[in-house]
Amino acid sequence: MFAILAASLAGACLMPLLARVIGRGAGLIIAMLPAGLLAAFVSMAPIVERGWVMGQGRAWAPALGLDFTLRLDGFSFLFCLLVTGIGALVIIYSDGYLTNKTRAERSRFYTLILFFLTAMLGCVLAENLLVMLMFWEATSVLSFLLVGFDSRSPRSRRAALMALQVTAFGGLMLLAAVLMIGATLGTYSMAQAVSQAPALAASPMGAPIVACLLIAAFTKSAQFPFHFWLPNAMQAPTPASAYLHSATMVKLGVYLLARFEPVFASVSWGRPVVIFVACLTMLVAALQALRAENFKSALAYSTIASLGILVLLVGLDGPAATVAMVGFLLAHALYKAALFFCAGSVLHATGHHNLRTLGGLARFLPLTAVACAGASLSMAGIPPFIGFISKEFLFEAQLQSSWELAPLAVAVLVNAAMVGVAGVITLRPFFLGKGKVTEVEHGETFWLVAPPLVLALAGLAISLEPDWITRVALRPAVAAVYGKAVEVDISVWHGVTPMLLLSGVVVTIGALIVRFWRQIHERLRAIERFDLYALERLWDHALQGLASGSRAATLWIQHGDLRRYLVMVLVAMAALIAWSTAAVGQKPQWPAIGELRAAPIICALVGLGGAVAATRAKSLVAALVATGLTGFALAITFMTNGAPDLALTQFTVETLIVVLLTAVLLAVPLANPVTRTRRMQITDAAIASSVALLLFIAVVDMAARPHDAAASAFFGEMSYVAAKGHNVVNVILVDFRAFDTLGETTVIAVAAILARSLLMRRGRTHDVVADLPVHFSLRAAGRTLAWLLLAASVVILWRGHDRPGGGFVGGLVAALSFALIALAYGVDRAERALRLQPLAVVGVGLLCVLLSGLAGLAVGEPYLTHLWWEPAGLPKLGTTLIFDVGVYLVVLGSVCAFLFGLQREASR
Amino acid sequence: MTVLYALVGAAIVGCAIFMILSRNLVRMLLGLSLLATGANLLLFIAGRIRTDQAPIIKEGAKVLEDAADPVVQALILTAIVIGFALTIIMGVLVLRAWRTQATVDARKLESAEAMGAARARDGADE
Give the domain CATH number at B43.
1.10.287
Range of the domain at A415: 274-527
> Partners of A71 in the beta sheet?
A55
Q: Which of A653, A682, A758, A896 to mutate against chain B (most B CBs within 10 Å)?
A: A653
Q: Do residue A666 and residue A732 come from a single domain?
A: no
Number of helical (H) and strand (E) elements in chain B, helices listed first: 4, 0
**Is the Cβ pair A660, B16 closer than 8 Å?**
no
Range of the domain at B29: 2-51+68-103
d(CA A309, CA A720): 94
3-state helix, strand, coil in chain A (%, to 5): 75, 5, 20
3 state SS of A767: coil
Residue ranges of chain A with per-residue pLDDT less than 70? 403-404, 492, 494, 530, 532-533, 761-772
Backbone angles phi, psi at B58, to 5 degrees: -70, 155
Query: Could you tell me if residue A388 is inside a domain?
Result: yes
Residue-wise burial string across A54-66, b where 16 or more C-beta atoms lie within 10 A, e elsewhere: eeeeeeeeeeebb
Q: Do residue A741 and residue A884 come from a single domain?
A: yes
pTM for the full predicted model: 0.67
Q: What is the pLDDT of residue A23?
A: 74
Residue A764: how many CA atoms within 13 Å on its side-chain side? 1
Q: What is the pLDDT of residue B114?
A: 62
Beta strands in A317-429 (DSSP E): none
Query: Could you tell me if residue B43 is inside a domain?
Result: yes
What's the sign of the alpha-carbon dihedral B40, B45, B48, B50? positive
Q: Do residue A452 and residue A328 come from a single domain?
A: yes
Residues of A in contact with B26 (CB under 8 A): 620, 623, 664-665, 668, 672
d(CA A170, CA B63): 75
Ordered DSSP codes for A2-40: HHHHHHHHHHHHHTTHHHHHH-TTHHHHHTHHHHHHHHH
Query: Could you tell me if residue A680 is inside a domain?
Result: no
Residues of A in contact with B60 (CB under 8 A): none
Query: Could you tell me if residue A639 is inside a domain?
Result: yes
* A388, A492 contact by CB (below 8 A): yes
Q: Which of A151, A645, A762 to mutate against chain B (most B CBs within 10 Å)?
A: A645
Query: Could you tell me if residue B58 is inside a domain?
Result: no
Q: Which of residues 583-642 of A touch B (CB under 8 A)?
A: 590-591, 593-597, 600-601, 604-605, 607-608, 611-612, 614-615, 620, 623-624, 627, 630-631, 634, 637-638, 640-642
3 state SS of A878: strand
Residues of A in contact with B119 (CB under 8 A): none
Residue B124 confidence class, pLDDT cut points 50, 70, 90: very low
Backbone angles phi, psi at A466, to 5 degrees: -85, 0
Q: Do residue A324 and residue A452 come from a single domain?
A: yes
The count of domains in chain A is: 3
d(CA A762, CA A234): 63
Q: What is the pLDDT of residue A25?
A: 81
Amino acid in position A1: M
Q: Which of A487, A827, A608 is nearest to B38 (CA)?
A: A608
Residues of A in contact with B71 (CB under 8 A): 711-712, 715, 732
Q: Do residue A399 and residue A491 come from a single domain?
A: yes
How far apart are the two ends of chain B, measured CA to CA in Å? Answer: 72
Phi-psi region of A864 (alpha: psi -120 to 50; beta: other; left: phi over 0): left
Query: Could you tell me if residue A561 is inside a domain?
Result: no
Helical axes A319-350 vs A475-482, angle rounded to 10°:
120
d(CA A478, CA A329): 11
* B77, A733 contact by CB (below 8 A): yes
Query: Could you tell me if residue B114 is inside a domain?
Result: no
The mean pLDDT of B47-54, rounded to a whole number, is 85
Q: Do residue A333 and residue A430 come from a single domain?
A: yes
Residue B13 confidence class, pLDDT cut points 50, 70, 90: very high
pLDDT, tens digit, for every residue of A350-398? 887 788 888 888 888 889 889 999 999 888 888 888 888 888 888 888 8
Cβ-based neighbours of A215, under 8 Å, separated by 6 or more = A169, A170, A173, A226
Q: What is the pLDDT of residue B126?
A: 37
Q: What is the pLDDT of residue A692?
A: 94
Amino acid in position A618: K
Residues of A in contact with B20 (CB under 8 A): 566
Cβ-based neighbours of A495, under 8 Å, separated by 6 or more = none
Q: What is the pLDDT of residue A673?
A: 77
Last residue of some domain: A635, A650, A670?
A670
3 state SS of A61: strand
Cβ-based neighbours of A900, under 8 Å, separated by 6 or more = A822, A827, A830, A831, A838
How far apart are the two ends of chain A, measured CA to CA in Å? Answer: 80
3 state SS of A594: coil
* A797, A810 contact by CB (below 8 A): yes
Q: Which of residues 483-542 of A touch B (CB under 8 A)?
A: none
Alpha carbon A222 to its chain centroid, in Å, reads: 24
Chains A and B: how many Cβ contacts under 8 Å? 317
Residues of A in contact with B53 (CB under 8 A): 642
d(CA A738, CA A745): 10
Backbone angles phi, psi at A66, to 5 degrees: -100, 95
> Partners of B24 in the beta sheet?
B105
Q: What is the pLDDT of residue A49?
A: 86
Chain A nearest-CA distance from B61, in A, is 9
CA dihedral A789, A795, A797, A800 (to 10 degrees): -130
Report the percent of chain B where pLDDT is more than 90: 51
3 state SS of A356: coil
Query: Could you tell me if residue A624 is inside a domain?
Result: yes
d(CA A123, CA A171): 13
Least confident range from A686-700, B89-103, B109-123: namely B109-123
Residue B67: how many CA atoms within 13 Å on its side-chain side? 25
d(CA A345, CA A443): 9
Q: Which helix (H) or strand (E) holds A364?
A: none
Query: Could you tell me if residue A870 is inside a domain?
Result: yes
Q: Which of A646, A659, A678 to mutate against chain B (most B CBs within 10 Å)?
A: A646
The count of domains in chain B is: 1
* A896, B86 contact by CB (below 8 A): no
Q: Do residue A482 and residue A609 come from a single domain?
A: no
**Is the Cβ pair A688, B15 closer than 8 Å?**
yes
ipTM here = 0.91
3-state helix, strand, coil in chain B (%, to 5): 65, 0, 35
Query: Could you tell me if residue A820 is inside a domain?
Result: yes
B122 vs B106, residue with greater confidence: B106
CA dihedral A254, A165, A272, A404 (to 10 degrees): -70
Q: Which of B41, B83, B13, B7 is nearest to A640 (CA)?
A: B41
Q: What is the pLDDT of residue A443?
A: 79
Query: Could you tell me if residue A235 is inside a domain?
Result: no
CA dihedral A123, A124, A125, A129 (to 10 degrees): 60
